[in-house]
Amino acid sequence: MILTGQLDSPFVRRVAVALNMYALPFEHNVISAYDDFGELLTLNPLGKVPALQLDDGTVLADSTLILDYLDHLVGEDKSLWPSDLIGRAKALSHVGVAVGLAEKAVEFRTETVRRPPGKVDQPRVDRVRAQIGASLDWLEQRSPGERFLGGDKLTHADIASAVAVTFIANKNPEHLADTSEAGRGKYPSLLAHMQRCEEMAEFKAAPFTDY
Ligand SMILES: N[C@@H](CCC(=O)N[C@@H](CS)C(=O)NCC(=O)O)C(=O)O
């Protein structure tokens, strides 16, 4: 299998970490969604990363669909989803917000960094900032004081949350800043959870990288 995409992308990272968790060997094709756009279009007509090329040549795009394939490849027992229905619903709910947060964090950069000077749509930027803040608050309220979201076993929900928060911490740490007078930190549980995840060997083998 060949995973295409840089490790500054939270979507590429959630796939790379899952591949590591499943001990599935893969080649890593480190190309940029922007600088190598032409090459990427030949692989994925959407010109987006991640893309995962299977050994028979099939190309899967979109991290959630790629993970669906990998989960089925390893089987239910090894899959990074809780086996009970309630646990799974909670994990799905968490993944929805965490992956959406990553999308909003990437959109924030597109709206602020990639727009020509004078072309910034400030109401749009303000809306995305509010979406990021509300999602961080939501995740903070549900982040566990120890171990992982569902207990002892790491799930896709932990990975999605950790890679999104790491992306924000590296690219736009101001979203995480506590501007209140007390200044005790706005997201202590969320950040501690992110650090616990990032200390794992499977995360370290796919580290956030600023190219
Ligand atoms: N929902 C997609 C999001 C993927 C995504 O937005 N990737 C970004 C890189 S972080 C990208 O390729 N952007 C280029 C573009 O949208 O033109 C997923 O989960 O894989």
pLDDT tens per residue across all 211 residues of the chain: 999 999 999 999 999 999 999 999 999 999 999 999 999 999 999 999 999 999 999 999 999 999 999 999 999 999 999 999 999 999 999 999 999 999 999 999 999 999 988 999 999 999 999 999 999 999 999 999 999 999 999 999 999 999 999 999 999 999 999 877 766 689 999 999 999 999 999 999 999 999 8
**CATH code, 43:** 3.40.30.10
Residue 44 and residue 52 in contact, taking contact as beta carbons nearer than 8 Å? no
Residue 119 and residue 180 in contact, taking contact as beta carbons nearer than 8 Å? no
Examine residue 209 and state whether it is found in any structural domain, yes or no.
no
Indicate whether residue 50 lines ligand 1 (CB < 6 A): yes
Pocket test of ligand 1: the residue of 4, 15, 44, 49 to mutate, having most ligand atoms within 8 Å of its CB, is 49
Indicate whether residue 44 lines ligand 1 (CB < 6 A): no
Among 74, 94, 118, the domain-final residue is: 74
The Å distance, Cα 22 to ligand 1 centre, comes to 23
Is pTM beyond 0.95 here?
Answer: yes
Number of domains in the chain: 2
Indicate whether residue 63 lines ligand 1 (CB < 6 A): yes
Is 112 strand, coil or helix? helix
Same structural domain, 131 and 55: no
**CATH code, 144:** 1.20.1050.10
Dihedral angle of Cα 68, 17, 73, 31, to the nearest 10 degrees? 80
Pocket test of ligand 1: the residue of 6, 7, 9, 210 to mutate, having most ligand atoms within 8 Å of its CB, is 9
Same structural domain, 91 and 170: yes
d(CA 143, CA 84): 20
Among 74, 105, 123, the domain-final residue is: 74
Examine residue 135 and state whether it is found in any structural domain, yes or no.
yes
Indicate whether residue 49 lines ligand 1 (CB < 6 A): yes
Same structural domain, 168 and 95: yes
Examine residue 79 and state whether it is found in any structural domain, yes or no.
no
Indicate whether residue 9 lines ligand 1 (CB < 6 A): yes
The Å distance, Cα 49 to ligand 1 centre, comes to 5
Same structural domain, 171 and 111: yes
The Å distance, Cα 75 to ligand 1 centre, comes to 27
Among 74, 107, 133, the domain-final residue is: 74
Q: Which range of residues forms the domain containing residue 89?
A: 85-204
Residue 79 neighbours by CB distance under 10 Å = 19
d(CA 8, CA 127): 24
